[in-house]
Every structure is written in structure tokens, then in C-alpha cells.
Chains A and B, each alone.
Chain A
Amino acid sequence: MAKEINIAIMGNPNSGKTTIFNNLTGAHQKVGNWPGVTVEKKEGITTFNGYRIRVVDLPGTYSLSAYSMEEIIARNYLVDEKPDVVVDVIDASNLERNLYLATQLIDLGVKLVFALNMVDVSEARGQIIDHKRLSLIMGVPFVPTVGTKGEGTRELLETIVRVAEDRESVARHTHIDYGRELEEEIEKLQALIRPDGSFADEHLARWMGIKLLEGDEAVVKQIERSPHRDTIFDQLDRSRSHLKRMLGEDAETLVADRRYGFIHGALRETFRKTRRDRYYLSDRVDMVLTNRLLGFPIFVFFIWAMFQLTFKVGRYPTELIDRGVQLLGQSIGSLMGQGLLRDLVVDGVIAGVGGVVVFLPSIFILFFCIALFEDTGYMARAAFIMDKIMHSLGLHGKSFIPMIMGFGCNVPAIMATRVLESRRDRILTILINPLISCSARLPVYMLIAGALFGAYAGNVIFSIYALGIVLAIVMGQIFKRTLFRGEIAPFVLELPPYRMPTLKGTLIHMWERGSIFLKKMGGVILAGSILVWALSSFPRTVDYSRDYAGEESRIRQDYGKRKSALIRMGETRRAGLLEEEMNRRIAEIEALRREEFQEKSFLGRLGKGIAPVLRPLGFDWKEGVALVTGFVAKEIVVSTFGVLYGIGEGRGEESEGLRKAIRKEMTPLIGYGFMVFVLIYTPCLATVAAIRRETGSWRWTGFSVGYSLTLAWVLALTIYQVGSLLGLG
């Protein structure tokens, strides 16, 4: 039986944590979310020296203070799950700042291994780190690694095993020395905390004492449940004012200051620079990329290129898949006999899943681009450049990319919010993202505006897009002031050096995110597609008002006679024309039949059922049905109109017949209201699935659907009623 070691990987953002994780676990990885939150959870397993090593990649954190969701997760994992060994990945080229987290881990008293990563970068900068001596001073083994080249992985595993078995010679429990004054106060607090059964651990009590001095809210809450809380808080107050009197600084500052003091002291003996700071290549690149004049145009170009790649280049594989799905549907359809099962498989399952699969190329291309931005370090610059604009919307600089992606498709856009660290920023960006008009809505605008506004169609469509942007800004401001009031959104953004990404790393990033889409959303969309299929296919038998079948056979007989007469006379050309005419008339009859069937199906009844709600907006039941089916995917609105107006399927927004029908049915005022409704109302099923997935909460999902429906209804109502009053109807 293999013995098991549980390890957790920690480290600052940009420290190369993920490459170390990938090196350790290879292909055996699982990606999910931490329960209830949107932070990625990665796990992997590796075997080494007869051990089964389970690796959990904790989110990147600068510290163990309960400041962000990531830090809370990381800290709770350490305290609750008690991994056997914690591997802290430290960026050797940014040693001082990275060691801050290391001092906190030492305070916590967990078994530690430090992966001194990117030693190649540090060496190239002329920095010499005596990691052996540093190990002795800190009481934790340092293992030099170069994550991008896989160097040091074996040594890291060996050290992990040694530490887990308590065989590592340098590993010992050390204390960060906070200086006499602080140590005295820490001891007083520690002595009061320790008797409390649950904190019996000496190290944990000391850690909590330090955290109390730091004003850590989570530990304060924990102490509040203790029976000794009054004595502890009394002592805390006394300690704080004592320190302030003695040292002239508040306890918080003192703790941070002493930690950096300890780091400084340790580095004085072990760290040497062989040359003075100079401009590295990275800085020179940055002089161009964030240049005051060039920064913007370059950024816009990158976004443009990403957009083109995602949606223009992505269209080719998309079309291929689309055709493949159609072919599959046809071939399976012809294999199965006519009937309900065939309809279910072809129109429900294959069409439904196909509707998801066609997204894949775009999503993978997009995630490849985003992974590239992140892995090179450009994402932080994008945030730096755009923050001023996005901040005025209440968002973070990094929100820009998801927002702009929304013009292509809201699904990858919502998934792109993963670049945002703060949950508040993510939810806010997710909530307003569907207001950015995606490309699937364009066919609807083209149909309606093309039919009703003639030469002004372009301007009308532009105004819809602009309305979406304005609404996104307005709703962003409203949400910021209501739902997220008082929540801090500070901006301390590290600008990591530019790095050459590895293809493997970028592909792994892309795959991790893209496959989540495939796995998790397929189910929701499949279920939704089957539901809409069922609504539009049942009940199987309806009482038709006309005898469509009889009419069809009469036409066939009639034309058949005339045709054979023509053929007998040798007039094959006229016979051909006659056959075309016959087919046209049969198609008309069939379309009328389908229209009536749709009207009498459950979907039609649903459309009629919600018609009273839509009547004040000027819509009738056909628009109701189109809006219901449009929930699956908004481009379906057009094909639904096709069916309902008896134009037949397969005719798009360019169909003149459909435009004529729309002109008969809608006034420009109603049409405009309808377009606005389509812009705003409930994002499509795939988007809802993405929102559910990315917020990790049905409540936010429900809220998103609810508010957009309400907003759409109110705005369309206003347009119709005010317009009618002004006589624009």
C-alpha cells in the first residue's frame, strides 16, 4: 500500500507557481472551483519513491491576511486541512517581497519547503543567492528550480519526502524575531490564547497572537467565540497602546516592518548583486508597450487582433463543425425511421449539443490569447493602461477584456472574467456583460431594422449597440452603489517582468479553461434544447383548421396530370418549370401547416400565454414565441419568425419574404422596442450556464436573468408607450 503525502503549493501571483504545479503533477490534474466561490481549484497526483503525493495548488496570494477570497481560501486550507507539507514557490528575482509570505508561513508553524524558482532569471541579473545559508537561517530547505525548464523538480520531490518524514536536517521550528517589545506582547497574548483547548498548539497560539496585533478580522472573530475573549481583548488593547507609546507606531505597521526587517537581515548575509540595477530587457519592452503615446494604440491593436483571431479565424473551424453536426444529424436521421425518437435525437440532442460544440474553436482561441497575455505579463499592463477608464465605470482595469469580448459572444466573455482577482469585480463584470450586444443578436437587428428602417437600418443598429454600452455603464454605476456598496476595490497591481511564455504552459492554461466550458455547460444547454424541442413538438396531434394533407395531394394530382401531358408533347422545359411551381405551392402549404402547428404546440400556447404581458409593449404572441425560443440562442429568434410567418426554415435575416411579413406585422416603433428587448432580456442559455458556472451561485444567476428581463420590459414599454403618445407608432 502506497503511503500518501498531501502537499499544498502556495506562492505570490507571478511566482511561477503553476509551472511548478504542472511539473510536479504532469498530466494528472483536475480543475474545478473551490466550493461556493469562483476561484479555481487545481489538484493533481504524482507518485514518487513509493509515495502517492497529492498536490493542491492554492490560489496565488501575497500574504495570509484574510483580505481577498484567494487569501481566505489559502489560509483556511492550511488551517483546516493541515496538509503534510506546504511548498512555497518564491520568485528568486523578486526575493524580498516574495519572502513576506514565507515569514507568515514560518509563523504558522507548518512543515515547509521553499521552491526558489526562476533562479535563471535572477542569475542573469547578476544576483547571487546563497540558498544553503538562507535555508539554515530560516530553518526551511530552499530548493532552486527553473519551472519553465522543469529543472529542480526531482530535488523538490526528494525534499518534500524528506520533510514529510522529518528527515530533513535543516528543517526546524524557527520564530521570526519581532524584537523585544513585540515579543513580550506576543507572549502575553499567546499565554492567554493557549489555555483555550482548540488553540492548544503552541505555534498556532503564537500565530494568533501575532494576527491579533495585526488586527486580522478573521482571528478577531475566532477569539470572539472564546470564553476568555474579554481578557484577551483587554490584553490586546493594552499591548497596542503600550507599543504605540514605546515605539511610536501602531502594531500593524510594526509587525510588517519587523517581518521585512527579518527578511532584510537574512538577505544581508546571503544575497549579493554583482552589478548595479540597470534597465533590463523587460523594462525596455515596457517603455514601448506602456508608453504614454504608443501604449493605447498598441493595446487597441492587440485587442483587435485577439478579436479577429477569435471570431474571424475561429469561424472556419466553427463552420466545419457546424457542417459536421448537420451531416451527423442527416445521416443519423436517415438511419432512423421517421418518428418521435428520431426528432428527439436529431432536432433535440444533436442540434442542441451541436449548438454548444460550435462555440469551442472560438473559446479555445480566445483562451489561448488570454493565456498568452497573462503568461507574458501583458495582462497587468492592459489593466494599467485601461484602469482609468474602467475605474470610472466602477470596474477594474482588467475588466476591459471581458467587456470587449462581449461583442463577440458573452459566453467566453464571462469566462474571461477569470482574469479578475476580486470577486466583487468579477460579479459586477459578469452582471453587466450581457448588455454588451453579442454577434448572435446581430441577425435579429438586421432582419428587423432591414425590414422597417430601410436606408436608416445601419444607424438604427448602431444605436442599439450604443444603447447596450450606455446601459452597461448605468447598471454598473447602480450595482456599484447598491449591491456592492462599501466594498473596497483597491488597486495594488503588480507589474511582473515580461516573460517568454512556454507553449506547453499556455496550452495547459487554454485547455483548463476551455474544457470547463465543454464539460459543465453542455449539460445545461442540452437540457434546454431538449425542452424547447419538446415544447415545439408536442402535442403530436393538433386539430388543423384546414386539410393540409388533402390540399397537398390535390396539388400533386393536378400538377402531375399537367406535367405528364407536357412530357408527352415533348415540352420538357415547361414540364420542369411546372414542377418547380408545384414544389413552391407544396412548400407554401407545408409552411402554413407548420405555422398552425407551431401556434397550437405547447410553445405556441406558451407564447399566447405570455402575450398579455407583452401586449403593453406592442408585441403579439408571435413575438412572444420568438422571445421564448430566443432564450436558447438569440439567433433562433430569426428562424422562429421564419417558421411562424410561414416562410419556412433555412431562410435567414436577408430573406425578402420574411422582411415583407415583418413589415406587415410590426411598425417601426414596435420593431425598435423589439430590438431593444432582444438586446437586454435574459441572456441566452449558454450565457446563463456560464454565469451559473462562474459565479458559482444560483442566486446571482437568478438575479442576472431577473434584472435583465425587468429592464428589457420596462425599456420596451417606455419606448412603445412614449412613442405612441408622440404619434410615432
Chain B
Amino acid sequence: MNSRRLSELKTGEKGVIERLTGAGPFRRRLMEMGFVPGAEIRVEKFAPLMDPIEYTLKGYHVSLRHEEAEKVVVREPASTGGA
């Protein structure tokens, strides 16, 4: 139930998008790209210099810079059983 910033997730971790902070056209762009509440997102990898970060979302790959991933609030995905 605890919310985190997307930028805080580590490689391989998953999250469910809760909301986007900030405003303006950039926020809308993120939503158009599929960053909508309820969407599941997974951290694929960090770029060799640690920025930007690659994610999978709605079945495709997209990358955001750290400062942009900070604007996405995620919560942990509902447990699917197991550890």
C-alpha cells in the first residue's frame, strides 16, 4: 500500500501507477504513452550511465529520465501469492 516514486524502483521491480504529479503538456504526454492510473510498469534496466531508465508498460519499451520518472507515483502490485 505504500507509495513510491517510479525512479526509486530497482531493476526488475514492478509497480502499479497511482498518479502523475506535475502539470502541463508533459504530464499529458506521459498519459498518452500509457502512464495512466492502474497500469503496471516494470523496470527493465538503467542506461550505462544510470540515466535514463528503461521500462516496459502496456507491452512495449519506453525510457524516461530520472527527473521524469520522479513525477510518477507507483504502488506495489497486488500480491499474486508466493513470497
Q: Hey, which chain B residues are within 8 Å of A295, CB to CB? A: 47-48
Q: Is the CB of A385 within 8 A of B47?
A: yes
Kindly provide the distance from the CB of B71 to the nearest chain A CB, expressed in whole angstroms: 10
Within 8 A of A (CB), among B34-65: 34, 36-39, 45-52, 54, 58-65
B65, A94: Cβ atoms closer than 8 Å:
no
Contact A256 B48 (CB under 8 A): no
A96-B59 contact given A253-B20, A256-B28, A256-B32, CB 8 Å threshold: yes
With the chains together, A579 CA to B19 CA distance in Å? 90
A95 — nearest CB in chain B belongs to which residue?
B59
Q: With a CB–CB cut-off of 8 A, which chain B residues contact A291?
A: 48
Alpha-carbon distance A492/B57, docked complex (angstroms): 12
Q: When chains A and B are docked, how far (Å) is the Cα of A95 from the Cα of B19?
A: 23
Which residues of A442-474 have CB atoms within 8 Å of chain B's CB atoms? none
Given A387-B65, A391-B65, answer yes or no on A492-B29 (Cβ-Cβ < 8 Å).
Answer: yes
Contact A94 B62 (CB under 8 A): no
- Alpha-carbon distance between A397 and B59 when the two chains are bound, in angstroms: 24
Q: Is B31 an interface residue (CB 8 A)?
A: yes
Given the known inter-chain contacts A67-B25, A96-B59, A290-B48, please indicate yes or no for A492 contacting B33, CB distance below 8 A. yes
Residue of A nearest to B60 (CB): A94
Docked pose: A296 CA to B63 CA in angstroms: 17
Q: How far is the CB of A221 from chain B (nearest CB, A)?
A: 14
The answer to whether A388 touches B36 (Cβ under 8 A) is no
What number of A-B contacts does a CB cutoff of 8 Å give?
117
Which residues of A have CB within 8 Å of B61?
494-497
Proximity string of chain A (481-521) to chain B, C-beta cutoff 8 Å, 1 when within and 0 when not = 00000001011111111000000000000000000000000
A215 proximity list for chain B (CB < 8 A):
28
The complex places the Cα of A291 from the Cα of B54 at a distance, in Å, of 12
Q: Give the distance to chain B from A617, nearest Cβ to Cβ, in Å.
A: 41
A63 CB within 8 Å of chain B:
yes
Give Cα A492 to B28, complex, Å.
12
Residue contact B63 to A67, C-beta cutoff 8 Å: no
For the complex, is B68 an interface residue (Cβ under 8 Å from A)?
Answer: yes
The interface residues of chain B lying within 8 Å CB-to-CB of A214 are 28
Q: How far is the CA of A296 from the CA of B50 in the complex (A)?
A: 12
* SS class, residues of chain B in contact with chain A: mixed
In the complex where A97-B34, A260-B39, A387-B52 touch, is A491 in contact with B68 (Cβ < 8 A)?
Answer: yes
Residue A559 at the chain B interface, CB threshold 8 Å: no
Please determine whether B36 and A260 come into contact, CB atoms closer than 8 angstroms. yes
Chain B residues with CB under 8 Å of A491's CB are 52, 63-65, 68
Given contacts A388-B50, A491-B52, contact A97 B28 (CB under 8 A): no
Q: Which residues of A contact B51 (CB under 8 A)?
A: 387-388, 391
Establish whether residues B63 and A384, one from each chain, have CB atoms under 8 Å apart when the complex forms.
yes
| A65 nearest CB neighbor, chain B only | B28
The verdict on A252 contacting chain B, using a C-beta distance below 8 Å, is yes
B9 contacts chain A at the CB level, 8 A cutoff: no
| Given known A97-B58, A495-B61, contact A385–B48 (CB-CB < 8 A) | yes
A549 interface hit (Cβ, 8 Å): no
Report whether B59 and A494 are in contact in the complex, using a CB–CB cutoff of 8 Å. no
Contacts of B75 in A (CB 8 A): none
Chain B contacts for A496, CB-based, 8 A:
60-61
A353-377 interface bits toward B, Cβ cutoff 8 Å, 1 = contact, 0 = none:
0000000000000000000000000
A3 is an interface residue with CB less than 8 A from chain B: no
* Residue pair B60, A296 in contact (C-beta under 8 Å): no
Which of B32, B36, B37 is the most central at the interface, judged by chain A CB atoms within 10 Å of its CB? B32
Asked if A602 CB lies within 8 Å of chain B CBs, one says no
> How does the 8 Å CB contact mask read for A63-85 relative to B, with 1 for contact and 0 for none?
10101000000000000000000
A143 vs B33: C-alpha distance in the bound complex, in angstroms?
24
Q: Kindly provide the distance from the CB of A58 to the nearest chain B CB, expressed in whole angstroms.
A: 17
Collect the chain B residues with CB atoms within 8 Å of residue A62's CB.
Answer: 29, 32-33
In the complex, what residues of B have CB within 8 A of residue A97's CB? 33-34, 58-60
Residues of B within 8 A of A494 (CB): 33, 60-62
Q: In the complex the two chains form, what is the Cα distance from A93 to B61 in whole Å?
A: 12
Q: Which residues of B contact A (CB under 8 A)?
A: 19-20, 24-34, 36-39, 45-52, 54, 58-65, 68
* Given pairs A215-B28, A488-B25, 16 additional interface contacts (CB within 8 A): A65-B28, A100-B32, A253-B19, A253-B31, A256-B32, A257-B37, A260-B36, A290-B47, A295-B47, A384-B54, A385-B48, A387-B52, A490-B26, A490-B29, A491-B63, A491-B65
- Chain A interface (Cβ < 8 Å from any Cβ of B): 62-63, 65, 67, 93-97, 100, 214-215, 217, 249, 252-253, 256-257, 260, 277, 290-293, 295-296, 384-385, 387-389, 391, 397, 488, 490-497
Can you show 30 pairs from A to B with CB atoms below 8 A apart? Answer: A62-B29, A63-B29, A63-B32, A67-B25, A93-B59, A94-B58, A94-B60, A96-B59, A97-B34, A97-B58, A100-B32, A215-B28, A217-B25, A252-B27, A253-B37, A257-B36, A257-B38, A277-B59, A292-B45, A293-B48, A296-B48, A388-B47, A388-B51, A391-B51, A488-B26, A490-B26, A492-B64, A494-B61, A494-B62, A495-B62
6 A-B pairs with the lowest CB-CB distances in the bound complex, closest first = A256-B31, A388-B49, A495-B61, A63-B32, A96-B58, A295-B48
